[in-house]
A and B are shown apart, each in its own frame.
Chain A
Amino acid sequence: MYEVLSPVGKTELPQPQPIAPRLGSLEGRVIGLFVNSKPVAPVLLERVEELLRDRVGARTERFRHPHNRELLGEELLAFRRWVAEVDAVVGAVGD
């Protein structure tokens, strides 16, 4: 008979936060398109851009991510300035 210890390390995750208030309507809003470095992202988000414009009358602004990692330092500051200029953000995730 063995008595065994857990191999799992304690996880110190933040408390869950709710998402930001939604926009109600997208008409006339500026939607930020966050383009990561994956090859399909610009093409995919270009089509999103067209559909948002045609279906709900939204404008779009793009932020080109230089790589596919978490933004840090100056890149993060530039990203935050860009987010301040838009009403919401759509980003492509996964390959």
Chain B
Amino acid sequence: MDAVVFFVCAAVILAGAFGVILARNPVHSALYLLTTLVGVAVLFLQLHAALVAAIQIVVYASAIVVLFLFVITLLGVDRHEQLSDPRRFQRPAAVVLGVLVAVQVIVLAGRHWTTGVAPPGHALDPPRSGNVERLARSLFTDYIWAFEITAVLLVIAVVGGVVLARRSGQRPGVAPPADASETHA
């Protein structure tokens, strides 16, 4: 049963990933990204990481994908990408390098003589205690400083996003001049 769930999820994840990079329309790419994220969330459940799976659905599949779709609709960038590439050799080179990286990681990292650690080839034993409780205990004791700094990071990100997305030269409270480009943007 585990194997069936794994292989179905793997097929969904890889199909979604190929859809992201092959779809011409960015909206389709975002929806393929959604299928990949949901597939990864199911695999998290399969790995007994229930809280991480829930966060994956809530933060990634909801917030981030909706943010992508929102920006796509805001900018109106549903135009199709031009097919002719100014750098002709980049695409084949990218594919070759990508396959090379994958083979390197799988072959080298899967061997004992390169890493010095035996690959985790044994079957999985059941977890010892509740997932959420252990995660919370670790997060609020061992990783408390990282957790606090996360709050600072989020504040910086929010302020940076507001500053960047604000029209430069526009004072707050003053209505922007209505020109032609604005109606299309």
Is the pairing of A and B real?
A: no
- Chain A interface (Cβ < 8 Å from any Cβ of B): none
